Structure 1
Amino acid sequence: MTTQQTITAGIDGSPESLDAAGWAAREALRRDLPLHLVHACDPPVEGSRPPEIDVPFHREDGALDRAVLRLSREHPGLGILDEQVTGPPVQALSAAARSSALLVLGSRGFGALTGVLVGSVALAVAARAACPVALVRAGDHPADEHRGAGGSRRPVVLGLDLDRPDDELLEYAFDAAASRQAPLHAVHIWTAPLIPSADAIDPVEEKSRLLAAVLTPWRHKFPRTQVTERLLHGLPGHHLVRAASTAGLLVVGRRIPAGPHLGRTAHAAIHHARCPVVVVPHY
């Protein structure tokens, strides 16, 4: 995976985007990369009324300056670049992704509907961006990467397709775990019958062998990362969210090209996972 220039975060003045920017700042420090804050908005149309739901990235004037001041105060050693962009937010953020190692966005939409819903901008960018996209919920803090009295690290959970495992996805997950000094849980979920016929090979044994084979070269490349293999049977989205219930990060893949929408598993992860979710584009 080619290392790009920055960790980029979209800013709109909302608590969601500010918490996402804080998460992005910690990620930039982990990777020793500068932080790029982007505030994108459509030019105002004279006489138009502001939207009531899913307010886009022009929600607050001065949002970018406030974010820069806050993060500079919290992380005095971090290099911060800020950019105000006029244009549709999806296009502007997708363009910023082309020069980014990671694009970070807040994961909740605006308006009367709250809870597990996410903004259309975040979903659209996650489905199009050329780099991995992290969706971070409001309220995410540094302490959320730890758990237990001993302060042990929450695991990084990787959702893995054994039919078409991809090095981009594996490298991102292993690198994320290593940079956090966290364990990695590699999870494969399938929906076919456990034993389709009496003469069939036991799928659990076969998939266990395949999973071990896929992970072996990465275990050698990251020898200090503790890796746990997990095989689950059932609905992928449901089981992946459950597997990440105590995780610090969930990593899922997105096929290129796969159209303007995310797949079911990535969609379920973004909507329902309690931890930040990274969507990694790969072929």
Structure 2
Amino acid sequence: MDLRERLGFVDNNVWLWGRVGAQAWWDARQARGALARDPDRFAEVKVFCNFIGYPRSGHSVVSSILDAHQAAVFSHRLDALGHLKAGVAPEAVFHMIARNAERFARDGRKLTAYAYPVPGQHQGRGGRPTVIGDQEAKWATLRLSRDPELLARARFRHAPRLAFIHVVRNPFDNIATLANRTQSALESAMETYFQLCAGVERVKARYPEQVLDIRHEELVAAPRAQIRRLGEFLGLTVDEPYLEACAGLVYPAASQSRASRSWSGALVRDVEQRAGRHPHLAGYAYDR
């Protein structure tokens, strides 16, 4: 890749996190008043869902599909568990999730070179949701890996069921995209990736019946079937208009970003060997 191509991959991570962080700070301070005016806004929440896994796996498209459902609200890059850990009350975090989703929808759910609006559906307009959650997978994985009882300590008013969505893609594509976006070496991106793999395994051990694996490649190949799986897992009714609109959001082919970098034979073997230790990566290889 030449310099121009590499610069095209550079992530705007600092700017995104800075903007979301400033907005979250304001929303946290407005939460008490908002909840006092409407104390039952989140009384119908039955599921609190967090994504776990790795950046650049397809979380944005999956969370955008879920946020399009009339009974669901999903924030983008909020780091909801970070706010819970900092002592923000769960209902206030729910308020922050809803405000984040409203803003993201108002901006066309645009992120870097991609946008994830679902026309004619309910993005940013969750009303009184039964499912609420956050798309930020990396930090959720690290926080739960380091503090497995974080959610157990949270004082939820209505005790929602905890659920986790784990979006998986070919590790070579994931590692290459991580390296491109952070302008780092493949070896460094590989270490980050497998650190998060280990974190996912710890979350699964703590919540063995509450994690849904979604393969990005299967979502691309059969979006309707995977969207139905998501709805069933979260207790959401999936009707035909919603299914049709959301299936249209999914790109027709999975990007094979592994081809954007040069891989040594030793590095390919190392990734394949380490991937073999994680059941959720079964069947993946550099050439498939």
Q: Which protein has the bigger helix share?
A: 2
Q: For the pair shown, which has the larger CA radius of gyration, 1 or 2?
A: 1
Q: Which protein has the bigger strand share?
A: 1
TM-score (norm 2): 0.27
TM-score (norm 1): 0.27
